[in-house]
């Protein structure tokens, strides 16, 4: 299940307001979230390490698969990779 990203939610998650687009989707649970915008073919995942990892993804399914495999690149804490 996913939802549209609002400005308020973006601010709480630490995403820039440019992440709020008509096509962006957000999936979240208690410890992680995944932002995906098909128009930009881009995903940002924040995992248990509390770092944001940016990576290209052609679909939400691909983005979720990369997160499950932890194939999202390396990042220093708090920086988009």
Nearest residue to 43 via CA among 31, 58, 28: 58
Annotate 9-46 with three-state secondary structure. HHHHHCCCHHHCCCCCEEEECCCCEEEEECCCCEEEEE
80/41: higher pLDDT: 41
With respect to residue 78, please indicate whether it lies within any of the assigned structural domains. no
Residue-number span of the structural domain to which 49 is assigned: 3-69
With respect to residue 62, please indicate whether it lies within any of the assigned structural domains. yes
Domain count, the chain: 1
With respect to residue 80, please indicate whether it lies within any of the assigned structural domains. no
What's the pLDDT tens digit per position in 1-51? 566 788 998 898 888 888 888 888 888 888 899 999 999 999 999 988 888
With respect to residue 74, please indicate whether it lies within any of the assigned structural domains. no
- Which structure tokens are listed for 62? 């691909």
- Beta pairing, strands 33-37 & 52-56: unpaired
- CATH assignment at residue 57: 3.30.390
What's the pLDDT tens digit per position in 58-71? 999 999 999 999 88
């Amino acid at each position: 299940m996913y939802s549209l990203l609002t400005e308020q939610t973006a601010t709480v998650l630490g995403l820039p307001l440019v992440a709020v687009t008509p096509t962006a989707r957000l999936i979240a649970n208690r410890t992680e979230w995944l932002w995906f915008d098909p128009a930009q073919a881009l995903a940002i995942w924040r995992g248990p390490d509390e770092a944001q990892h940016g990576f290209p993804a052609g679909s939400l399914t691909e983005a979720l698969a990369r997160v499950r495999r932890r194939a999202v690149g390396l990042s220093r804490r708090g920086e988009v990779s």
